[in-house]
Amino acid sequence: MLIFIQRLKKSFGDNKVLKGIDLEIEKGQVVVLIGPSGSGKTTFLRCLNVLEVPDEGKIAIGGQTMDFSKKVHPKAIAEFRRLTGMVFQGYNLFPHMTSLGNVMEGPVTVKKESREEAAAKAEYFLAKVGLGDKLEAYPFQLSGGQQQRVGIARALAMEPNVMLFDEPTSALDPELVGDVLKVMKDLAEEGMTMIVVTHEMRFAREVADKVIFMDGGVIVESGAPDKLFTKPEKERTKQFLSMIQ
């Protein structure tokens, strides 16, 4: 078991966003989270990266456990974050750095790798996402799809145990979505463990090992994509799927 999540809870003020999430993910699995807006799927993903600190519950990734019932130290959070790579809806590239600079930042500053080593690694990952010819480009010189692929390379460069994608294609023009999904599909085929929040149902059908339907801060139903999409058990799931298809 690579990832083990137990009774994860998170509130913002009176608003209970996550009401106790339990989930186990095997190494190499691709898990797609779907659900209506406000269902808590993005918050859940952000909790795994500890960008939101959960109020209660445990997260274990690759043998390292964070218990949020106790007070957690910022240093421990920073360490724990290195186990996960995050890809944001709005890319969030560093505008003052080139593609290469963006991808090198983690290895150089966090892992203390030498600049040569980090640059070689960054070049490798940028080539992998199809941007080997954009090493010196600044974010503003790139299309949304290219920026998002730099974002993926930046996360990969930290060599995380699991990649988290928070609606990675939602901000993109339709014709640019394909390139990003292709990169994600390739990653999945190479055996990367991935948790993806997305509205791309075709991607979920084709790539996911497991689809999870969340609503109201709980996991309503989960299963293999062909089962969940064709024969959902819960009424709420049926409703949601009929609305989006």
Partner 1 sequence: MYLNSITIDPDRIARLADIAGSSLQPLLKGAIFYTIPLAMITFACGLILAVITALARLSAKKIWRMAARFYVSAIRGTPLLVQLFILFYGLPTIGVVIDPWPSAIIGFSLNIGAYGSEIIRAAILSIPKGQWEAGYSIGLTYRQALVRIVLPQAARVSLPPLSNTFISLVKDTSLASLILVTEMFRKAQEIATTNYEFLLLYSEAALIYWVICFFLSILQSRLENRLDQYVSR
Check binding of 92 to partner 1 (CB under 8 A): yes
User: What is the smallest separation between the CB atom of 122 and partner 1, expressed in angstroms?
Assistant: 12
Q: Which of 56, 67, 105, 209 binds partner 1 (CB under 8 A)?
A: 105
Question: What CA–CA distance (Å, rounded) separates 101 from 202?
Answer: 33
Instruction: Tell me if 86 contacts partner 1 by CB under 8 A.
Output: yes
Residue from 151, 140, 55 nearest 103 by CA: 151
Q: Which CB, 88 or 213, lies closer to partner 1?
A: 88
Which of 138, 216, 218, 236 contacts partner 1 by CB under 8 A?
A: 138
Mode of pairing for the β-strands spanning 64-67 and 56-61: antiparallel
For partner 1, which residue of 114, 141, 170, 239 counts as binding (CB under 8 A)? 141
Our finding on whether 158 is near partner 1 (CB under 8 A) is yes
**Per CB under 8 A, which region of 23-31, 104-112, 191-199, 237-245 contacts partner 1?**
104-112
The Cα–Cα gap between 178 and 182 comes to 6
- Kindly report the backbone phi and psi dihedral angles of residue 135, in degrees, each rounded to the nearest multiple of 5, phi listed first: -60, -40
Looking at the chain, the number of H-run helices and the number of E-run strands are 9, 10
- Around 193, how many Cα atoms within 13 Å sit in the side-chain half-sphere? 17
Q: What are phi and psi of 243, to 5 degrees?
A: -75, -35
Contacting residue, 7, 81, 205, 236, with partner 1 by CB under 8 A:
81
Report, in Å, the least distance between residue 10 CB and partner 1. Answer: 16
* Residue 128 makes contact with partner 1 by CB under 8 A: no
- In terms of Cα–Cα distance, which of 44, 37, 42, 32 is closest to 243? 37
- List residues near partner 1 by CB under 8 A: 49, 51, 74-75, 78-79, 81-82, 84-86, 88, 90, 92-97, 105-106, 109-111, 138-141, 154-155, 157-158
